[in-house]
Structure 1
Amino acid sequence: MQVNTDTQAELGLSVTEAARRAQIIGATIATMAQVGYRKTTFARIKERAGLSSTRLISYHFTSKAGLMQAVLSTVIETKTNFLAERTEGRVGAADRAGNLRAHIETSVAFLRDYPDCVRVLTEMTANAEDEDGWTMAGPVLNDLRVGAVYRQLKQGQAEGAFGDFAPDVMAMSIAQAIDGVAAQFKADPTLDIDRYGRELADLFERATAPAAK
């Protein structure tokens, strides 16, 4: 996966330092996607990145926690940019139902277009309690998966755009439905992702619609 060096340069790094950090983050994402969180060691990352020593990783990230924070931030940025690009000009900010549909369809499309990022999110969620990992990973991942949709549903209900339901239950149901597509796509790479995205969006559009008067 190509990591944006501009983001790394924003940390006040030189061009060379930013490129090296991006190289290490990209190698970590690729390694974790292939062998899982637990087997993603500095030694494996060194080999994947073609580094001369694991000390180069420690120099840029100090610890596993620092590296995991940078990896998660990069994956979230990638997903956020993907969703923004796919929904730009598609719906207005006040169109709650349209934004929910766009979120579901683009989240499902992300499964196909960025499989390594999806695997990393899954692995980091499953290992959020790792003592050597980033302590904030769990809350950040939970907000990414459920929190943002919950707030969107809550606001839409307040505005009358959505019906009467428990927004926490609905947000979790949407997240689990997307997870289900991820599992199915992993088992069958020929899955029609776009159709699944549309069908899920249709399903939750009906489930969240206000009652007919």
Structure 2
Amino acid sequence: MQVKTDLMAELGLSVTEAARRAQIIGATIGVIADLGYRKATFAKIKERAGLSSTRMISYHFTNKAGLMQSVLSTVVETKNEFLKERTGGALDPADRPGYLRAHIETSIAFLRAYPQCVRVLTELAANADDADGWVMTKVLVDDMRVHGLARQLKQGQAEGVFGDFTPEVMAMSIAQAIDGVAAAHAADPSLDLEKYAREVADAFVKATAP
């Protein structure tokens, strides 16, 4: 996976430093996606990135927690950019039903466009208790998958555009439905994701209607 260097350059890094960090993050994403979080050692990442020594990883990220923070931030930013591209940057957060549909359809489309990122998110969530990992991993993954959407649903209820339900329960149900599509797609890559996305979105737009 290619990792953009624009953001890192904005942090005051040189072009060379930004490129090296992006190379290491991309290699880490690939290793986690292929081998799983627990097997994503600095040695494996060094090998995937084509580095001469694991010290180059430590130089740029200090420790595993710092690296995983950057990996998660990159995946989150990739998904946000994907949403902007699919909606032409015109998605209005005030359009709660439209936001809900876009969230579901984009999350499912993301499965095909960035399968490595999806697997990395799953692995990070499953290993959030790693003492050497980034302490904020669970908080951010949960917010991305459930709590952020729950806030949108709650706000929509306050505005009268959504019906009566428990926002956290509905948001979790949506997340689990998307997870189910991910599992089905992993078992059968020929799955018609556009159809699944449309029908899952239709179901939850109806379920949340006033």
Q: TM-score, normalised by structure 1?
A: 0.96
Instruction: Flag structure 2 segments of 5+ consecutive residues without an equivalent.
Output: none
1:98 aligns with 2:88: no
Structure 2: how far apart are the matches of 1:175 and 1:166?
14
Structure 2: how far apart are the matches of 1:63 and 1:155?
39
Structure 2: how far apart are the matches of 1:92 and 1:58?
41
Q: Which residue of 1 aligns with 2:163?
A: 163
Contact 2:84 2:90 (C-alpha < 8 Å) held by counterparts? no
Structure 1: how far apart are the matches of 2:59 and 2:93?
42
Q: Which residue of 1 aligns with 2:114?
A: 114
Distance apart, 1:7 and its partner CA: 1.2
Q: Which residue of 1 aligns with 2:209?
A: 209
Q: Deviations over 1:11-56 (max 9, x none)?
A: 2111100000000000000111100000000000000000000000
Structure 2: how far apart are the matches of 1:90 and 1:8?
26
Contact 2:96 2:156 (C-alpha < 8 Å) held by counterparts? yes
State the AA in 2 paired with 1:86: R
Farther off after superposition, 108-117 or 80-89: 80-89
Distance apart, 1:88 and its partner CA: 2.9
Structure 1: how far apart are the matches of 2:13 and 2:193?
39
Q: Deviations over 1:105-155 (max 9, x none)?
A: 011000111000000000000000000000110101100000111011001
Farther off after superposition, 47-56 or 89-98: 89-98
Structure 2: how far apart are the matches of 1:22 and 1:173?
34
What does 1:1-16 align with in structure 2 at a 5 Å threshold?
A: 1-16=1-16
Structure 2: how far apart are the matches of 1:59 and 1:90?
40
Structural RMSD (CA): 0.9
Contact 2:84 2:91 (C-alpha < 8 Å) held by counterparts? no
Q: Which residue of 1 aligns with 2:127?
A: 127
Q: Which residue of 2 aligns with 1:37?
A: 37
State the AA in 1 paired with 2:173: S
Q: How many residues align?
A: 210
SS in 2 for 1:38: helix
State the AA in 1 paired with 2:97: A
What does 1:13-92 align with in structure 2 at a 5 Å threshold?
A: 13-88=13-88, 91-92=91-92
Q: Which residue of 2 aligns with 1:189?
A: 189
Structure 1: how far apart are the matches of 2:200 and 2:28?
32
Structure 1: how far apart are the matches of 2:89 and 2:132?
42
Q: TM-score, normalised by structure 2?
A: 0.98
Structure 2: how far apart are the matches of 1:37 and 1:110?
20
Distance apart, 1:91 and its partner CA: 4.7
Structure 1: how far apart are the matches of 2:9 and 2:15?
7
SS in 1 for 2:151: helix
Instruction: Flag structure 1 segments of 5+ consecutive residues without an equivalent.
Output: none
Structure 2: how far apart are the matches of 1:8 and 1:89?
22
Structure 1 runs of 4+ aligned residues shifted over 4 Å read none
Structure 1: how far apart are the matches of 2:7 and 2:14?
12
State the AA in 2 paired with 1:16: T
Identity %: 72
